[in-house]
Amino acid sequence: MIEEDKQKEVHKELRNYLQMQGLKATPERFAVLDEVYSTNFHFEADDILVRMRKKKMHVSRATIYRTLELLENSGLIRKAKLGETKAYYEHTYGRHHHEHMKCTQCGRVIEFESEEIEKLQDVICRQYNFQMTNHILHLFGVCEDCQKTTDGKAKNNYTTELTVK
């Protein structure tokens, strides 16, 4: 469950953004926002739908897609494709930018940060006079656990959601 003060902060940010853009503050938008911020995991559009359905909250799939786009524009979430067709998201409030390491065997996603890499990116952008707004770094390979097993596949199949800090 999302902590109350964080929820308030995030609501305020969205409210400001909507006002600034002349958009309406609808219950659906805040409901999606709350759901997005209820975990620290990566999620996809459909996860939000499923989680909301479980709580008997009715927001259509279309609205979820539209709201996720809005939240991305507002900077409250970030899109991060992990090589698949689907889009993955993660929220940004109170989190550093981080990179992803994905195990191609078990699907596990490990997050890591690297100031040094970020600095080097800035240097490169200056060289090309490129105004960077976002970046994605994904490393693909085989995780520690999967290397240990005989068939090269860890027992725990993480699919997509586990995030290790």
Partner DNA sequence: TTCGGTGCAAACTCTTTGCACGACG
Partner DNA sequence: CGTCGTGCAAAGAGTTTGCACCGAA
CA distances (Å), 110 to each of 18, 42, 51, in order? 33, 11, 23
CA distances (Å), 152 to each of 111, 149, 161, in order? 21, 5, 20
Is the CB of 28 or the CB of 111 nearer to its own copies? 111
Distance of alpha carbon 111 from alpha carbon 98, whole angstroms? 6
Distance of alpha carbon 158 from alpha carbon 152, whole angstroms? 15
10 contact partners, CB below 8 Å, separation of at least 6:
33, 37, 76, 93
Helix (H, G, I), strand (E, B) or coil at 14: helix
Q: How far is the CB of 31 from its own copies (least distance, A)?
A: 26
What the block records as the tokens of 61 is 């799939």
User: Quick check: 150 binds its own copies (CB under 8 A)?
Assistant: no
Q: Quick one: what does residue 46 bind among DNA, its own copies, none, with the CB cut-off 5 to 8 Å set by partner type?
A: DNA
Is the CB of 6 or the CB of 15 nearer to DNA? 15
Q: How far is the CB of 108 from DNA (least distance, A)?
A: 18
Task: Find the binder of DNA among 7, 9, 18, 39 (CB under 7 A).
Answer: 18
**Segment near its own copies (CB under 8 A); pick from 36-44, 62-70, 115-123, 154-162:** 115-123
User: Quick check: 23 binds its own copies (CB under 8 A)?
Assistant: no
Residue whose token pair is 């939240």: 71
User: Quick check: 67 binds DNA (CB under 7 A)?
Assistant: yes
Phi and psi at residue 11, to the nearest 5°? -60, -45
Task: Find the binder of DNA among 28, 111, 118, 161 (CB under 7 A).
Answer: 28
User: Quick check: 45 binds DNA (CB under 7 A)?
Assistant: yes
Count other C-beta atoms under 10 Å from residue 27's C-beta.
Answer: 9
- What residues line the site for its own copies (CB under 8 A)? 79, 81, 83, 85, 87, 101, 103-104, 110, 112, 114, 116-117, 120-121, 124-125, 128-144, 147
- What residues line the site for DNA (CB under 7 A)? 18, 22-29, 44-46, 58-63, 65-67, 69, 85-87
